[in-house]
Amino acid sequence: GLTVDFARAVGACVILRGIRNIIDLAAETQLAITNRQVADIETVFIITGEAYAFTSSSLIKQVAALGGSLERLAPLVPPLVIDRLRRKREDPSDPLGSLLRDPNVE
């Protein structure tokens, strides 16, 4: 569902979003304006700390999916994320785990 639907369900009147760079700002601004128009919910932006400014969930998932070292990702993400990625790798029914075991994937 929509984030605004979840916000309403929990009684939130504001959505808090992180901004890493100018590209995020452009995309998030468009989303914030839409959320205000369709759901009358405001969005507040916070600037990401420099330690995470160049980290993206897509990049982290790609490294994990291609068999990269989860331990080397530790400075970039919280321990909970590393643990969850590890469990996904070990789960044969999870797409991440099955991708790593596919002999046709280099």
Model confidence pLDDT, tens digit, residues 33-78: 999 999 999 999 999 988 888 888 888 988 888 889 999 998 888 8
Mean pLDDT calculated for residue range 74-103: 81
When pLDDT is cut at 50, 70 and 90, the band that residue 103 belongs to is low
Q: Which of 52, 72, 93 is the last residue of a domain?
A: 52
**Chain Cα centroid distance, residue 37:** 25
pLDDT over 60 (residue 21): yes
Q: Are residues 95 and 73 in the same domain?
A: yes
The domain of 95 spans 57-101
pLDDT over 80 (residue 97): no
Q: Which residue has the tokens 């993206």?
A: 56
Q: Are residues 43 and 9 in the same domain?
A: yes
- Count, residues in the chain: 106
Gap between the Cα atoms of 64 and 44, Å rounded:
31
Q: Are residues 70 and 84 in the same domain?
A: yes
Contacts of residue 17, Cβ cutoff 8 Å, sequence gap at least 6 = 28, 31, 32, 43, 44, 45, 46
Torsion 55-61-67-71 (CA) sign:
positive
Choice between 13 and 95, residue whose per-residue pLDDT is larger:
13
- What is the DSSP code (8-state) at residue 6? H
| Helix, strand, coil share of the chain (percent; to 5) | 55, 10, 35
**Domain contains 106:** no
- Report how many domains make up the chain: 2
Q: Which of 52, 75, 91 is the last residue of a domain?
A: 52
Q: Are residues 43 and 83 in the same domain?
A: no
